[in-house]
Every structure is written in C-alpha cells, then in structure tokens.
C-alpha cells in the first residue's frame, strides 16, 4: 500500500464521502419526503411472493423499531390478523359471525382455513427469538384466538433506542369476506403482515404507564398503527396489475413474475391489491398522482371516482391542510371483490361501484369521499379506532356530509322527477335516529363493545350529528378553527378524545370567552359518555284576552270604570318542553300576528319553560331552533307550533298519495 | 277488419257505455279516499300545527318523514293496512264487474243497460274469480320460471360466483323482452278467455280457456298487433305523464289542483285503455266468429 500525505488522505476521504452522499441523494426518489413528517417509530422492509395457485404469501420482513418512551421495553407485540380466520371460534368470528359466508362447502370439508405463521424471528445479532414467542389474548382471554403474538427480546430496547427484528413468515390468504382476502384472481391485501402494535408511553391517551396497545382482531374495528416507512417488494405473476400504498419505486421482471417495489413514508399501515383485469386510469390533483384501478366493465364510471377524490382533496386543502402524499390509489374492486369495496388504508382506498349504478344514487361518490377523508382522520391523525372508533369514523362521517353537500347539493339520493333530494348530512342523521336503539352504547365505548347493530348508527351517525350540532352551536368559523388546531397539534401523533375536548375548550375560550360557559364539557361529556337523547318541543301557544283593569288601584284616586275605547290586551303564552335527557340551550323564534319576530333564548335546563308576552299583539307561531343548529334533536316536527298552519304541502302530499294509490290499483287491473 | 277500425269500434263501445266508465272511476276514487282521508287526519293530528308541514311543499321531505316514522310510525300501520285492503277490494270489485263489462261489450245494448251490467256481474263473478286465479297461477309460474332462469344465468347474484356485475343488467336486458312477450301473450289469452266465457256462457272454465287459446293461436298476428298497440298507447301515456309531471312546480293551491286534475285525466285515460283492450278484443273475436259463420254457411 503506498504511503499517503495525511491532508491528501483527508481530502480523499471527504471527497469519497461527498460522492457517496451525493449518489445517495441522487438515488432518492423525488417523491420521497425531504424531511420526515412523522416520528417513524416502526419501519418495515418486506419482500414477499404471492402464490396465486395456493393463495399464499411467503415473506421476509425486517422491522426497525424505535422506543418512543423512557421505558425499557422487553417484548414486542404483533397483530397477526389473518389468524382470525384460522378457526370458527376466534374473537373476530364470534363477534361478527360471518366467516362461513365466504367459505364454500368444499373449503369447510377440506379444512381450508386461513392463517399466518411467523417461522423465524431474529434480532440484529442473529439470536433466534421465535422459541419464546407466544400468543396472547389481552381483550377477552379467548384461547382460540391467535391474533396477537408476543415476542420476548433477548435484550431490551432502551429508552429512545432502536432495535431491528428480522422475520420470516408465511400466510394462507382468507377468502374475501370483509376488508381483506382473495376471491378468484382478485387480491385485496389488508392487515396481511405481522404488524407491530403501538407502544404508548405514559400519558398517551389512557395509558397511565408505558405499555403495548395491541388488541386482538375484532369484527368492528382494525386500525391503530405506528408511523413509519414501508418498503415493500411484491412479487406476483406478471399479468397481475398491482396497486399499493405509497409510490412505485421500481419494477423488475424475472421469468413469469414481476417484482413491484413500493415505498410509503410516514404512514401507519401498508396495503396492496392485485388483479389481472384492472385497468389503470391516471389523473392528477396539484402535486398528487391519482391512480384508479378499475374493472373494464366499470370504466364508464371513472369520473364518479376521480371527481369526488379531487373535490375532497380540494376541500381539505382549504379547510385543514393539503394532502401531503405524492400518490393516491383508488381501487374499485370487481363484483366478486365487493366485500372490500369501502375501505381506507394509507394512500390507498377502495370504493365500490356497479355497472348500472344510477347517477342519482351517489354511493360511489360517497364512498370515495368518506374513505379519502380517512387519510386525515385515522391516518394522519392516528387515533385508536379499536378503543375510540368515533374519533375515526365519526369525524370522517361529519366531513363526508360536509363535502358531499357542498359539491353535490342536489343530494346523495337525487331523483328530480319525484322531487326526491336527500342531502348527505340529513341522510346520516336519519339513519342514526331510525336505529333500533340509538341509546344502546355511549360513543366512548370500545369498538367491540358495540353490539346489536349499534356500531354504525352510533359510531358514524351519532358522532357526525353531534359534531354538526357542535358546529351549529359555535358557528362554522369556530368549528374550522377547532379542527385546524386539532389537526395541527396532533397530526402524525396519536390523539385521544380528551385531546380533542381540550382543543375545543381552548379554541372556544379564545374565540368566544365565557359565552358558552367556562368550557364546552356541558355539551361534550353527555354526548360522548352518555346515551341521552335530545328532544325539545313547542307544546302550545295561547292568546288570552285580558280583561280591562277595573276597581281600586294604588295611586289612583277613584275606581277604574269600564271604558268603551279601551284597546284589547292579550296575554300570550308559549309553552316549551324538554322531552329528552340531553340539555342544549335553545333559541326560539316567536312570530306575532303583526309580523313582528322576536328571538328568545332558553337555557334548556328545566323540563318545561314558558314565554309570556302581554300586549295588543297575539303570538302566531313559535319555532325552536329554526336555523336547525341542533340536528341532535330527534324530532323536528314538534319543534314548532303555529296557530295558522299552511296546509298546502299536506294537500300536495295527499293529492299525490291519492293519485299513486289509484295508479297502483289500475296497474293491478292489468292482471285481470 | 283493419286495426284502426277495430280500435275505433272498441273505443266507440266505451263511449257508448260511459256510465260504466264513470262507475269504475268513482270506485277508484272512493277506495283511494278510504286510505287518504285517515292518512290526512293522522298527519293533521300529529303535525297539523307544525311549521315543518311547509317542507312537504318541496316534494319528498326526507327529514319530515324520517322523524314522522320514528316518532309516530306505529300510527301509520293501520293506514298501510287500509291501503292493502283497498287494493284487495278494488281487485275483487273489478273481478265482480268483469261479467257486466264483457256482457255489455258482447251484447252491445244500444244504451247503458244497468240491469244487464249488474245482473251479469253477479252471474259471472264466481267464474271470473276462478278464471283470474288460474291465470294468476299461470303468470306466477312464468315469472318463477324466468326468475329461476335469470338467477341461474346470474349465479344467484352472488359476489362469490358471478364474474361481472354487468351480467346482472345484461341478463335482465336479455330475458326481460322474452318474459314480457310471454306474459303479454298470456294476458291476451286471458282477455279472450273472458270474452268466450261471457259470449258462450260456459259453465266449465276449461272450454273458454281452450277456445281462447285456439283463437289466439289461429289469429295471433292480428290479435297481438291489436293488443300491443293498446299497450304501446298505455306506455306512451305513462311516458307523457312522466314528462309533464316535473314541469309543474306544485307550490300553490292552484298548481296543486292543476297537477291533480292532470293526474286524474291520465288515470281516466289509463282506465279507458284497459277497457279498450277488452272492448277491442270482444269486437275482434265477434268479427272473426261472424266471418267463420258466414264461411260455414
């Protein structure tokens, strides 16, 4: 080796380092974030092979986990969601009871159950950790549930330090039933890999001390993940069109297979789909590439996906913050993949359509809007759907209504000929109140505690209607300020309900002082933790002619006698009731017979309340919440009372009913 | 006899017996009122003083009806039951009147003959009822057969079996014309069976059924063109109805009344077209019968 001058050697070293860094920079995909958006606590490098004959996946996986706490962590916990389909006694099946729907007789007879097995787990020093790994059942102790795996470490992860875990695993993909699986040649791969739970340091959400939050797979809920970077190499037969979270880094063909390498940064999960029949439609919204994977028979419906996607992205760009990711993939499954047709995963969503879906039924548009909204509520604001599902679905349902009503004001169900126009928000409200028992659970329950069909009406419906009511009370500007503060403060973190409550109280105090009291807990707590309903009514209106004053009064010398020219005085009384348990202050619009309008306020506390007016005018009508600020009020019909009802609308309805009935009878006569 | 002549003759019979049309229309109105009046009273009772009634002016007010069903839906059950009852009564009444209607068309008295109408209605009621039931069973069997074929082609609409949802509509488009064709032929056969039943006053139903089948088979083209022309007129009428209906914004009492009268006009025309199917079928059958008699002579 020739002797070298130390300065020359240093310069050479610096030059070499510079070239190395320069080349690394040159290799960085321009779509990659220059600076991380999230803490990147758990990052994955996965290489998988999809076997489309056996419907199996074989993979190697390298996890890099950074301890986010001051605790010393001795174990890692993983979700193995595919084991929910390993038998018919898992917690998922026990709660949902839908497994056998997707399994054929033959599947059952031949024991074709789905599963996922970790075959090897090694730490960075090559020590085998698989011998001590075990299944745990933190939620219900169900011995037949194998959806959470705990791996004890040979050496702990020290505070804020990282560890690396190399795994090999294999899975049998379930028949598509709900969210994930395959049917024929369509694969929708969600919750498909051993995914690390979330380590919650003390003070995070409900955690009093640092602990893993890694629930079993429940039929109602699925999301809670740690932010990270996913580099996933998917090897599948070359005829398959693949779509995945993140963006395509590279594609390599090897024999009959192609490896698609995807990179997704600052996301809580990774999902992919594959089908040989997908047609790819490309579009763009500002800096985001939109990729729609759609079946040929649905291609004529493509604008029903793309336009709502662009509307939603535009809405959030102005309402909160622009969508930061470089790509958005929308998967429209085939009819035989319909069971995953309304799902949300980071930068990849699914939305179903049908070839003959009438344009007036906005299901596809609603699904795109809803699932895309989840990129904000659940993805960037990574709340715990399993424990606080309303913070995910409820917020999303609230924004879905807002966006749909703004961009499609003719309604989510629109049929001009019949005068049928149902807005998104009113449709959501209607579905909540028509639930069999809208009081069966408070919003605060864990996802799997919602039983008897209560999940959707309450988690989606009640939460959305409650947020609409909050907006009605505070005004749109304050609501937007709340959402902006909540998002700015908690994006790429794990907010809980108290964090939202704190933001509401802070923003309301800043903008309104004590106008609504010292805080908004009087509204938020009964709505989140209670089950009471809201129902206020105008019970009656009376106008009683007051007799003229006659007789002896103080400070008047002689008794008052009847006078012929005395003006008539009325004592008008409006009686209001609080029929529900939920208390919300009310604004009452009182209209007098001379056209005068008086606005009165009632704190809404008592079970009944009177408004009394004395004068020459009579009260004609009274309307509680005439601007419909309180959609939580379950009965709008009793919110108003008038002494001079306008029955024109009823006449129209009755005339139409009469004609419809006659038409139905005449149609029957065709059978004679 | 040309198609135009048959239609003219058929409609002339209806005009001649316009009192019968009036009777059938009044029946239609009264039975519908039997449902609408309690419905109106119910709405008045629970929401009569509510300002939300004004929302009904815009058409279908989802929130109003949703809240109404949630809060007072139970009270609507008797009204719904009443509407089913009214439809059943209408069907039975129409079966009752079939004997009278066809007797007028067959015997063609020069003026409205009340005694003939009511008497023959009563006389043929039992047979017309049985005849209707036989043909309903036949129609149900045809519907079931086509339904089974459709489900079989569409693999039970199962997402696990069906290749492509375009087949759901595709198969429907493929099968529906054939189903409608068969169903219409059976309806036509049923009408001629009624003609034969009344004209020949048969006690045993299989005879008019077979005779009508033979007649339809022998004169299929002419009978079918006549029948389908009237169905096309009915279709045209319904299409026109759908066109004008949204044009009138029913926001005032006058416009509601105008829209209501137009609806009633359409209903009367639909009733006339149904009667025309029967009167033209009777006239056609009679013309063929007299032709055959002349040939035989």
A670: contact with B, CB 8 A cutoff: yes
Rounded to the nearest angstrom, the minimum Cα separation between B262 and chain A is 10
Cβ within 8 Å of B, A 460-519: none
A430: contact with B, CB 8 A cutoff: yes
CB-based contact A636 B63, cutoff 8 Å: yes
- Per the DSSP assignment, residues forming a β-bridge with A348 are A329, A345
A584: left (phi over 0), alpha (psi -120 to 50) or beta: beta
CB-based contact B169 A334, cutoff 8 Å: no
Query: What is the spatial distance between Cα B46 and Cα A537, in angstroms, rounded to a whole number?
Result: 13
Q: What is the pLDDT of residues B23-59, one digit of tens each?
A: 999 999 999 999 999 999 999 999 999 999 998 988 8
User: Among A501, A391, A492, which Cα is nearest to A68's?
Assistant: A492
Query: What is the spatial distance between Cα A655 and Cα B259, in angstroms, rounded to a whole number?
Result: 9
B157 has pLDDT over 50 = yes
End-to-end CA separation in angstroms for chain B: 20
Q: How many CB pairs under 8 A join A and B?
A: 206
User: Among A384, A398, A397, which Cα is nearest to A448's?
Assistant: A384
Query: What is the spatial distance between Cα A554 and Cα A545, in angstroms, rounded to a whole number?
Result: 23
CB-based contact A420 B59, cutoff 8 Å: yes
- Predicted confidence at residue A17, as pLDDT, reads 45
Lookup: tokens for B133: 């039931």
Q: State the average pLDDT for chain B.
A: 93
Q: What is the pLDDT of residues B269-288, one digit of tens each?
A: 999 999 999 999 999 999 88
Cβ within 8 Å of B, A 354-373: 354-356
* Cross-chain CB nearest to B35 (options A621, A655, A661): A661
Rounded to the nearest angstrom, the minimum Cα separation between B201 and chain A is 18
Task: Find the residue in A nearest to B193 (Cα).
Answer: A672
C-alpha pair distances (Å), A281 with each of A243, A296, B100 = 12, 11, 66
CB-based contact A430 B169, cutoff 8 Å: no
Rounded to the nearest angstrom, the minimum Cα separation between B118 and chain A is 18
B75: contact with A, CB 8 A cutoff: no
B47: contact with A, CB 8 A cutoff: yes
User: Among A154, A189, A193, which Cα is nearest to A170's?
Assistant: A193
A566: contact with B, CB 8 A cutoff: no
Q: What is the pLDDT of residues A332-368, one digit of tens each?
A: 999 999 989 999 999 999 999 999 999 999 999 999 9
B96 has pLDDT over 80 = yes
B chain contacts of residue A417, beta-carbon cutoff 8 Å: 242, 245-246
- Per the DSSP assignment, residues forming a β-bridge with A611 are A574
Task: Find the residue in B nearest to A175 (Cα).
Answer: B160
A chain contacts of residue B256, beta-carbon cutoff 8 Å: 648, 651-652, 655
B98: contact with A, CB 8 A cutoff: yes
DSSP-derived letter for residue A361 is B
Cβ within 8 Å of A, B 239-268: 242, 245-246, 250-253, 256-257, 259-260, 263-264, 267
Rounded to the nearest angstrom, the minimum Cα separation between A593 and chain B is 15
CB-based contact B28 A649, cutoff 8 Å: no
B chain contacts of residue A102, beta-carbon cutoff 8 Å: 160
Residue B262 CB contacts under 8 Å (≥ 6 apart), including other chains: B244, B248
* Cross-chain CB nearest to A666 (options B48, B53, B267): B267
Cα atoms found within 13 Å of the Cα of residue A560, Cβ hemisphere only: 13
* Cross-chain CB nearest to A649 (options B54, B66, B257): B54
Do the Cβ atoms of B248 and B262 come closer than 8 Å?
yes
Query: What is the spatial distance between Cα B185 and Cα B179, in angstroms, rounded to a whole number?
Result: 10
CB-based contact A669 B54, cutoff 8 Å: no
CB-based contact B52 A637, cutoff 8 Å: yes
Burial class of residue A124 in the structure, from the number of CB atoms within 10 Å of its CB (0-12 exposed, 13-18 middle, 19+ buried):
middle
Do the Cβ atoms of A631 and A468 come closer than 8 Å?
yes
User: Among A419, A426, A429, A409, which Cα is nearest to A365's?
Assistant: A409
User: Among A230, A202, A200, A220, which Cα is nearest to A493's?
Assistant: A200
CB-based contact B50 A642, cutoff 8 Å: yes
Mean pLDDT of B71-79: 93
CB-based contact A354 B55, cutoff 8 Å: no
B chain contacts of residue A429, beta-carbon cutoff 8 Å: 63, 66
Query: What is the spatial distance between Cα B121 and Cα B195, in angstroms, rounded to a whole number?
Result: 14
Lookup: tokens for B75: 């009270």
Cβ within 8 Å of A, B 206-235: none
What b-and-e string marks burial along B52-86, b requiring 16 or more CB atoms within 10 Å of the CB?
A: bbbbbbebbbbbbbbbbebbbeeebeebeebbeeb
- Predicted confidence at residue A319, as pLDDT, reads 98
Mean pLDDT of B227-249: 89
CB-based contact B40 A637, cutoff 8 Å: no
User: Among A656, A658, A662, which Cα is nearest to B90's?
Assistant: A662
Strands (E), A511-592: 536-546, 569-578, 586-592
B chain contacts of residue A657, beta-carbon cutoff 8 Å: 32, 35-36, 39
Cβ within 8 Å of B, A 616-655: 621, 623, 634-643, 645-655
CB-based contact A671 B28, cutoff 8 Å: no
- Predicted confidence at residue B296, as pLDDT, reads 63
Do the Cβ atoms of A532 and A632 come closer than 8 Å?
no
Task: Find the residue in A nearest to B90 (Cα).
Answer: A665
B144: contact with A, CB 8 A cutoff: no
Q: What is the pLDDT of residues A395-448, one digit of tens each?
A: 999 999 999 999 999 999 998 777 789 999 999 999 999 999 999 999 999 999
Strands (E), A173-303: 181-183, 186-189, 195-196, 198-200, 211-213, 228-237, 241-244, 247-254, 257-267, 272-275, 279-285, 288-294
Rounded to the nearest angstrom, the minimum Cα separation between B287 and chain A is 23
**What DSSP element (H or E) covers A149?**
strand A148-157
- Predicted confidence at residue A24, as pLDDT, reads 46
ipTM: 0.95
Task: Find the residue in B nearest to A183 (Cα).
Answer: B160
Rounded to the nearest angstrom, the minimum Cα separation between A80 and chain B is 25
Q: Which residues of chain A have pLDDT under 70?
A: 1-27, 98-101
Task: Find the residue in A nearest to B37 (Cα).
Answer: A654
Does the pTM of the predicted model rise above 0.95? no
Task: Find the residue in B nearest to A664 (Cα).
Answer: B87
Rounded (5°) CA angle A96-A100-A103: 135
A chain contacts of residue B267, beta-carbon cutoff 8 Å: 659, 662-663, 666
CB-based contact A295 B164, cutoff 8 Å: yes
- Predicted confidence at residue A27, as pLDDT, reads 63
Do the Cβ atoms of A226 and A218 come closer than 8 Å?
no
Strands (E), A52-147: 56-66, 73-79, 115-123, 134-135
A229: left (phi over 0), alpha (psi -120 to 50) or beta: beta
Rounded to the nearest angstrom, the minimum Cα separation between B296 and chain A is 33
A433, A646, A653, A663: best to mutate for the B interface, most B CBs within 10 A:
A653
């Amino acid at each position: 080796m020739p002797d070298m001058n130390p300065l020359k050697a240093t310069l050479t070293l610096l030059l070499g380092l510079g070239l190395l860094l320069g080349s690394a920079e040159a290799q960085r995909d321009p779509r990659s974030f220059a600076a991380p958006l999230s803490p990147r606590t758990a990052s994955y490098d996965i290489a998988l092979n999809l076997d489309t004959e056996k419907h199996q996946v074989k993979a190697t996986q390298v996890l890099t986990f950074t301890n986010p706490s001051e605790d010393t962590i001795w174990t890692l916990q993983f979700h193995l969601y595919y084991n929910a389909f390993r038998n018919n006694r898992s917690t998922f099946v026990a709660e949902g009871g839908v497994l056998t729907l997707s399994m054929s007789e033959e599947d059952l007879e031949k024991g074709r159950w789905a599963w996922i097995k970790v075959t090897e787990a090694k730490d960075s020093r090559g020590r085998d950790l698989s011998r001590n790994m075990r299944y745990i059942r933190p939620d219900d102790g169900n011995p037949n549930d194998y959806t959470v795996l705990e791996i004890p470490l040979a050496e702990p992860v020290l505070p804020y330090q990282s560890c690396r875990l190399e795994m090999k695993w294999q899975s049998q993909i379930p028949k598509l039933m709900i969210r994930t699986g395959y049917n024929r040649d369509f694969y929708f791969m969600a919750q498909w890999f051993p995914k690390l739970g979330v380590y919650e340091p003390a003070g995070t959400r409900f955690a009093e001390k640092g602990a893993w939050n890694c629930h079993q797979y429940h039929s109602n809920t699925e999301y809670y993940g740690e932010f990270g970077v996913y580099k996933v190499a998917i090897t599948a037969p070359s005829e398959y069109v693949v779509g995945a979270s993140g963006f395509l880094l590279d594609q390599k063909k090897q024999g009959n297979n192609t490896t698609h390498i995807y990179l997704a940064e600052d996301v809580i999960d990774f999902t992919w789909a594959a089908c040989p029949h997908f047609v790819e439609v490309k579009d763009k919204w500002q800096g985001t590439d939109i990729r729609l994977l759609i079946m040929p028979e649905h291609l004529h419906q493509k604008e029903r996906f793309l336009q709502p996607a662009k509307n939603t992205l535009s809405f959030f760009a102005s309402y909160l913050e622009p969508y930061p990711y470089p790509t958005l993939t929308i998967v429209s499954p085939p009819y035989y993949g319909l069971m995953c047709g309304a799902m949300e995963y980071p930068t990849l969503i699914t939305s179903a359509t049908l070839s003959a879906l009438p344009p007036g039924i906005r299901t596809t548009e609603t699904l795109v809007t809803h699932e895309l909204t989840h990129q904000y509520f659940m993805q960037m604001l990574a709340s715990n759907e399993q424990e606080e599902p309303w913070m995910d679905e409820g917020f999303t349902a609230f924004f879905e209504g807002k966006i749909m009503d703004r961009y499609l004001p003719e309604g989510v169900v629109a049929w001009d000929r019949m005068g049928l126009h149902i807005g998104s928000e009113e449709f959501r409200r209607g579905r909540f109140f028509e639930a069999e028992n809208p009081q069966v659970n408070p919003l605060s329950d864990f996802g799997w505690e919602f039983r008897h069909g209560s999940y959707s009406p309450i988690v989606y419906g009640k939460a959305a209607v409650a947020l609409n009511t909050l907006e009605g009370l505070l005004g749109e500007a304050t609501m937007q300020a709340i959402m902006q503060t909540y998002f700015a403060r908690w994006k790429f973190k794990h907010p809980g309900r108290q964090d939202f409550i704190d933001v509401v109280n802070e923003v309301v105090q800043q903008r309104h002082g004590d106008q609504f009291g010292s805080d908004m807990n009087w509204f938020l707590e009964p709505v989140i933790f209670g089950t009471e309903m809201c129902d206020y009514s105008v019970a009656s209106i009376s106008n009683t002619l007051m007799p003229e004053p006659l007789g002896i009064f103080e400070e008047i010398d002689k008794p008052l006698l009847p006078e012929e020219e005395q003006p008539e005085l009325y004592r008008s009384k409006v009686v209001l009731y609080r029929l529900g348990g939920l208390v919300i202050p009310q604004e009452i619009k009182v209209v007098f017979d001379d056209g005068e309008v008086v606005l009165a306020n009632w704190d809404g506390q008592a079970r009944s309340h009177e408004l009394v007016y004395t004068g020459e005018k009579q009260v004609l009508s009274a309307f509680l919440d005439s601007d419909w600020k309180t959609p939580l009020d379950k009965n709008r019909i009793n919110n108003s009372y008038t002494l001079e009802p306008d029955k024109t609308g009823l006449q129209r309805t009755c005339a139409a009913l009469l004609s419809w009935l006659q038409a139905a009878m005449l149609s029957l006569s065709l059978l004679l | 006899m040309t198609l135009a002549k048959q239609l003219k003759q058929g409609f002339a019979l209806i005009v001649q017996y316009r009192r019968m049309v009036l009777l059938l229309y009044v029946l239609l109105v009264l039975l519908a009122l039997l449902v609408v009046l309690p419905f109106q009273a119910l709405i008045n009772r629970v929401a009569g003083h509510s300002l939300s009634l004004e929302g009904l002016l815009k058409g279908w007010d989802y929130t109003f009806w949703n809240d109404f069903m949630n809060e007072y839906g139970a009270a609507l059950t008797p009204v719904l039951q009443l509407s089913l009852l009214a439809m059943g009564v209408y069907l039975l009444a129409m079966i009752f009147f079939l004997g009278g209607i066809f007797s007028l068309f067959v015997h063609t008295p020069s003026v409205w003959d009340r005694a003939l109408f009511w008497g023959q209605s009563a006389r043929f009621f039992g047979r017309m009822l049985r005849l209707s039931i036989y043909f309903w069973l036949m129609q149900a069997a045809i519907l079931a057969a086509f339904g089974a074929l459709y489900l079989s082609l569409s693999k039970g609409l199962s997402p696990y079996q069906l290749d492509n949802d375009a087949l759901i509509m595709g198969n429907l488009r493929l099968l529906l014309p054939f189903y409608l064709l068969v169903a219409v032929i059976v309806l036509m056969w049923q009408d001629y069976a009624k003609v034969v039943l009344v004209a020949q006053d048969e006690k045993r139903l299989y005879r008019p059924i077979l005779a009508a089948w033979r007649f339809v088979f022998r004169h299929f083209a002419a009978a079918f063109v006549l029948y389908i022309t009237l169905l096309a007129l009915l279709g045209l009428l319904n299409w026109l109805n759908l066109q004008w209906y949204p044009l009138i914004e029913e926001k005032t009492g006058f416009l509601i009344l105008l829209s209501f009268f137009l609806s009633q006009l359409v209903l009367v025309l639909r009733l006339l077209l149904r009667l025309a199917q029967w009167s033209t079928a009777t006239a056609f059958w009679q013309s063929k019968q007299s032709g055959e008699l002349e040939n035989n002579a």
